Chains A and B, each alone.
Chain A
Amino acid sequence: MRRLNAFFATITVPPILWQVIFFLVPLIFLVVMTFWSVQNYRLKPDFTFTNWQKVLAAGYFYDIYLRTFLYAAAATVITSIVAFPVSLFLGLNAGPRFRIVAIFLLICPFFTSYLVRTYSWQVIISDNGIINTMLGAVGIGQVAMLNTFVGTMIGYATFFLPLVILLQFASIAAIDRDLIQAAHNLRCGRLRTIFAVVVPSAKVGLTVGAAFAFILAFGDFVAPSLLGGGRSPTLSILIIDTVKSASDWPRASVVAMAMIVTMMGVIFAALTFAYRKPGETH
């Protein structure tokens, strides 16, 4: 018995220790810091609610929060919808060899830094970039993409579209084919089967894919600043500005807290939705 306990201790203690040291402790430190103050650009341990009051009273905070939330939500919906037909084809129709090649190609983008990939988009979508040059050649005027909402969305997709496809694909490929055939057998046509059987069967993968998209977009700094132009700031841009221009770590921590709480709420909601059992709503 004692040996068994020792065994479980050796396998469970390291990850717990890791979580505590690298997640819980910094998180607690972050919370603590929201109550500190800054004097002459220097941090001073304190216990004041000023940071919270200032941030939560600022109108721009809510504008930025709402924008970040909507951007992330839009990115979630767009990437999920764009990814779905691809995942569907890979999961249900593609042959085994095609699948392996496709998975390899989906992993490839992660070989290079996200930052590099984002910069390369600037070359493609800027006003004098590849796309606009080609559009000009066929007589279509310039379409502004860089430093717009479209640019930000392209950046987000660069960041996590492959990941969303992989997550969706994995759960679609795991669907019991008999269920799809059973639906066909009960007069459910091909398109209807996708919504009646495939989507609910792959619910966990689709939801986790969407949750990842939301979290990554919500916390991302690169896409909104490099492709979105940074003129419509998001919360991560706000944090960077707060730290850079004012060295106000405590106020940045308050913004960070708002982000962490939001993301936790979203994950919790997503997981509750993904794992809800049938019949529980009745």
Chain B
Amino acid sequence: MTSTPAIELRNISKIFNGTTAVSDVNLSISDGEFIAFIGPSGCGKTTTLRMIAGLEQPTAGEIASYGKRVDQLKPWERDTPLVWQNFALFPFMSVAENVAFGLKMMRLPEAEIKKRIAEWMERVGILQLRDRAISQLSGGQKQRVALARALVTQPRILLLDEPLGALDAHLRIKMQSELKTLQQETGITFIYVTHNQSEALAMANLVAVMNEGRIQQLGSPNQVYRAPSNRFVAQFVGMNNLIDGEVAAIDGEHCMIRAGSNSFSVPAANKPSPGDKVTFIISADLVAIESAEAPQRENQIAATFRGEEFIGSVVTMFFETEYGAEFKVQQQQRAVQKLGLKFGDRVNLSWTANDSFMLL
């Protein structure tokens, strides 16, 4: 590890025909980091990645890599190979020729090229496909070819643009752990763009949540998941319920927030004063469901069961409350079965004060 950042973005902006795609982004990515940019489509994450690769010119700002300015370099003068969402493999070349492409461009001796491509094809498990045409490969195999083609040049930084986006769910999970292992073993700085938050949270050590061309939050997966810095992050990352209210009283570490007919105790991390309008969140997986007759607790609201959605063994249940029609609660499928709820059933939802989080 060196102390100079692998990539430094200084006041980077990009405007396309009057539309701002990236707006004044400042970011320093350390050597060996696995950073994921997440955000909805059009948030500027891919544009940021493409500017690092040189495929897009910033409208303003500077980009430095290991202390050297690179924003004026042509894409082919940079050392930032990209793994494309659609793989962008050369269909008129065999697997081995695709992998060898970057090395040929570097004009390495033939023997060295042979050795290195064999090494990397072996490593990502495509050695037996070396003479195949690209059209004969499955999505997962293409992904591996794309990875080998980028990594064989031994870059210090690897850019990945939704690399698992075109794969089916099962393969995606498998590739996630492989990518993570690969990053840890090689120590290469991974800059990863995805709209899939679970992918980002599972792999990256650092997550940059982007919206409307700006970085909304930069932090560890746990930070962006449990302590979102604003309303957008709270809604985009994880599955949070947002409740708007007014601070009624402060009681040491907690404050009482009045919202509609209820009042809630919320940790007062950011020192609000009584009368402040605030928003707090409670994550869907931290909410308990009890019968409407259960004894009164703090942080409790009345709700009506309206719908459910299954993702594997986890069920997301939707409740109608005075705060809206889609209060979300996530539980294990087993636990939900035990409850035996029917649509229209009235229940109480509650949570521990320390599990809620006030937005700044």
A residues adjacent to B (C-beta < 8 A): 176, 178-179, 181-190, 192, 196-197, 200-201, 203, 277-280, 282
Contact = CB atoms under 8 A, between A and B. Distances in A.
27 contacts: A176-B88, A179-B88, A181-B55, A182-B84, A182-B90, A183-B90, A184-B54, A184-B55, A184-B74, A184-B76, A185-B80, A186-B102, A187-B76, A187-B102, A187-B106, A187-B153, A189-B74, A189-B76, A192-B105, A197-B90, A201-B90, A201-B92, A203-B92, A277-B135, A278-B94, A282-B94, A282-B131
B82 interface: yes
Contacts of B132: 279
A181 B131 contact: no
Most buried by B among A181, A182, A203, A278: A182
Interface string B34-62: 00000000000000000001110000000
A183 B84 CA distance: 12
Interface on chain A toward B: helix, strand, loop, or mixed SS?
A: helix
A277 B95 CA distance: 12
Nearest to B77: A187
B101 A186 contact: yes
Contact of B101 (A176, A188, A201): A188
Contacts of A186: 76, 81, 101-102, 105, 149-150, 153
5 closest pairs, A vs B, by CB? Answer: A182-B88, A186-B102, A200-B92, A187-B105, A184-B75
Contacts of B97: 278
A186 B79 CA distance: 8
A197 B89 CA distance: 11
B330 to A, nearest CB: 38
Contact of A178 (B84, B93, B105): B84
Given A186-B149, A201-B92, A178 B102 contact: no
A197 B131 CA distance: 19
Contacts of A200: 90, 92-93
B86 interface: yes
B107 to A, nearest CB: 10
A192 B81 CA distance: 17
Contacts of B95: 279
B128 to A, nearest CB: 13
Contact of B76 (A178, A188, A197, A280): A188
Q: Pick from A176, A183, A184, A190 the residue with the most CB of B within 10 Å.
A: A184
Contacts of A187: 76-77, 102, 105-106, 153
Interface residues of B, number: 33
Interface of B: 53-55, 74-77, 80-82, 84, 86, 88-95, 97, 101-102, 105-106, 131-135, 149-150, 153
A200 to B, nearest CB: 4
B56 to A, nearest CB: 10
Contacts of A190: 76
Contacts of A181: 55, 75, 88
A216 B21 CA distance: 51
Contact of B92 (A182, A184, A192, A278): A278
B53 A185 contact: yes
Given A179-B90, A197-B90, A279-B133, A188 B82 contact: no
A197 B94 CA distance: 13
A234 to B, nearest CB: 36
A4 to B, nearest CB: 31
A185 B92 contact: no
A278 B91 CA distance: 8
Nearest to B106: A187
A196 B90 CA distance: 10
Contacts of B133: 277-280
Contacts of B134: 278
A108 to B, nearest CB: 32
A194 to B, nearest CB: 13
A179 B91 CA distance: 9
Most buried by B among A184, A186, A192: A186
A182 B105 contact: no
B121 to A, nearest CB: 14
Contact of A182 (B74, B77, B82, B153): B82
A201 B150 CA distance: 20
